[in-house]
Amino acid sequence: MFFHVVMMRLTDTDDAFLARASHYAERIRRELPYVRDYHFGRNDAARANGFTWVVIGTFDSATDHDQYQVSAVHQEMKAFMSPHIADIVVCDHDTAGGK
C-alpha cells in the first residue's frame, strides 16, 4: 500500500474554496480508478503545528501514485489550491518497501 499525505496551512479560505477543493477530491475518487481512496479535510490533531488541512490518498502501488501525480484532475486541483497554500508538508510512504 502507498500512502500520500499532504498537510497544509491555507490562507484566504472560505466556504466556496473548501467546497471546490472537496469537489476535486470527489472527482479524483470518481475519475481515477487507480486511486484506492482520497480525501481532503481538516487536520484535527492538537499537535498539527498550524497544518490544519490535509489531503490523504491511498494507492496500491507507487506506480499508481505516479499516475495520479500527472493526472489532469490532480494538476487542476494543484493549480487551484497553490495560491492559497502558505506552507506544505508532504509524506509519501510505501509499505511494500518494508521500512
Residue 12 has pLDDT above 80, yes or no: yes
Kindly list the structural domains of the chain, giving each domain's residue range(s) and its CATH number in brackets, ordered by start: 2-97 (3.30.70.100)
What's the whole-model pTM score? 0.92
Arithmetic mean of pLDDT, 72-96: 97
Q: What integer pLDDT is reported at residue 64 of this predicted model? A: 98
Contacts of 84 (CB under 8 A, 6+ apart): 10, 11, 12, 13, 17
Residue 99 has pLDDT above 90, yes or no: no
pLDDT digits (tens, 9 = 90+) for 29-81: 999 999 999 999 999 999 999 999 999 999 999 999 999 999 999 999 999 99
8-state DSSP, 61: S
Nearest to 64 by CA among 94, 91, 97: 94
Q: What integer pLDDT is reported at residue 29 of this predicted model? A: 98
Helices (H), the chain: 15-31, 62-70, 72-81
User: Comparing 99 with 17, which gets the higher pLDDT?
Assistant: 17
